[in-house]
Structure 1
Amino acid sequence: MSIKEYIKSRWDNHAKKYDNISAHGINSEKDKRAVRSALQEILGDRKKVLDVGCGTGFLSLILAELGHDVIGVDLSEGMLSKAKKKAEENGYDILFKLGDAENLPFDNDSFDAIVERHILWTLPNPEKAINGWTKLLKNGGKLILIESEKKEGNVGNHHYNEEIARELPFSNGIDLEKFKEIANECNLTFKVETLDCEKINLMIVCEKTC
């Protein structure tokens, strides 16, 4: 089984109980208000937004609530099934597609913004992913990453076995120095904001400059 097949299987199996775990998604009203307010300030009026690794759709729903045209992509059919059900129940017209965050099925210069929450740590090739996301952005488009700072040890071990976790460069949180190098190579500006949240503390906002 390849690493991607393993990761896909892991999240398919996890989909049913994903929303019941407090560390996942954006579950508290405090965190939702903080994320909603930050996205509203950054994105402004209606935009075409891609939610990469959308999971069960928690971030896609916030974006739709703000009035944006949203497409959500995930590697897991189980996660997408939950996301589609939530969108239907809340009356949001969100397109959810099966796709690999490192090889997305869209044309270049397609989106005003791309957002993700805790996806980089799951990727074996985050540099390839960020480069691909940048190409999908229009000039001046925003890349918004909601992540956790690098921690001691390997946080990925609580989701994957040690062998798989070793293959994920950001498995113990995002290394800001390494990310800065990647952003510079991709012609992205780079700034870090902190969020007043219980479960999320870091928002990285990039802009495509050319």
Structure 2
Amino acid sequence: MTPSPQDDGTVKGLVRQHWDGRAATFDEEPQHGIHTDEQRDRWLEVLRERIGDEPRRVLDVGCGTGVVSLLLAELGHAVTGVDFAPAMLERAREKARETDQSIGFHRGDAEALPVPDDTVELVTARHLVWTLPNPEAAIREWQRVVEPGGRILLIEGYWDHDEPWDEYEAIHDDLPLYDGRPPDELREVLAGEGLRDVEHEPLTEPTLWGREPRHDYYLMDATVPR
């Protein structure tokens, strides 16, 4: 029997609970945190190659413990991070204080951002879309806050786990992109929501993930229509 869909509040509450519970140890995994100078430098190169050297106003959605936010700030961008899990945000704030980076971290829903229209030049998100009950609505929301001609940059993947775990056992059927998607499929989702010039590149270098990657990781870049 197929389980009945759960309301968004229930699903999002369990998503928050899952990531709050992982916040204290999240960065310990080699593919989650930044553990060596070589790993950090390679991520900085990847981001610089896609974003360029000109400082941008960036909103890092689903920022988690601030890994990408901190890298972007190190590149000279004006960064704000948003996440739904308070414990993740607190860890991000601690890391920002340790590095003297000026980043505002705020609680917010990726599908309903507390941000005015046309506020930023770039939205970034890492490994986020699979956790969302309404990913298409989120993509439209990200376009709302990006100024026309700005960009959305996603670090994504396809995990294809055998079984859901922890809180996701109860909610995975309510997440349309659970486990991620191959890049061609996610590209269709983004293009279907009106984004232009959608392209991707693989992110399979072991240096980026601190080990030989076990899943298909990639970067997806798209432009918000003018």
Using the size of structure 2 for normalisation, the TM-score is: 0.84
Preserved CA contact (<8 Å) 2:183 2:200: no
- Highest Rg: 1 or 2? 2
CA shift at 1:163, angstroms? 2.7
Cα contact 2:65–2:92 (8 A) shared by 1: yes
User: How many Å apart are 1:175 and its aligned residue?
Assistant: 4.3
Return the letter of the residue paired with 1:208: V
Decide whether the 8 Å contact of 1:102 with 1:128 is kept in 2: yes
| Alignment RMSD | 1.9
Equivalent-residue separation in structure 2 for 1:177 and 1:196 (angstroms): 16
Change (3 A) 1:184 1:161: closer
- Show structure 1 runs of 5+ residues with no match: none
1:164 Cα deviation from its structure 2 partner: 0.9
Cα 1:126–1:58 shift into 2, 3 Å: same
Q: Kindly provide the CA deviation profile for residues 140-187 of structure 1, in whole angstroms up to 9, marking residues without a partner as x.
A: 111110011363645xx1353423112112212224444333322332
Bigger CA drift: 26-35 or 160-169? 26-35
Consecutive unaligned residues in structure 2, runs of 5 or more: 1-8
Q: What letter matches 1:73 in structure 2?
A: V
Shift of 1:26: 4.3
Q: Deviations over 1:95-149 (max 9, x none)?
A: 0000011110111111110111101111111111111101111111111100113
Match of 2:75 in 1: 66
For the pair 1:109 / 2:118, whether they are aligned, the reply is yes
Aligned to 1:205: 221
TM alignment of 1:9-158, pairs within 5 A? 9-44=17-52, 45-149=54-158, 151=160, 153=162, 157-158=164-165
* TM-score, normalised relative to structure 1: 0.90
Alpha-carbon deviation of 1:34?
Answer: 2.9
Q: Per the alignment, do residues 2 and 152 of structure 1 end up closer, same or farther by CA in structure 2, a change over 3 Å counting?
A: closer
- 2: CA distance, partners of 1:159 / 1:59: 25
Matched residue type, 1:165: H
How many Å separate the matches in 2 of 1:150 and 1:12? 21
What does the per-residue CA deviation read over 1:57-105, in whole Å, with 9 as the maximum and x for residues that have no partner?
1111100000000000000110111101111110110000000111101
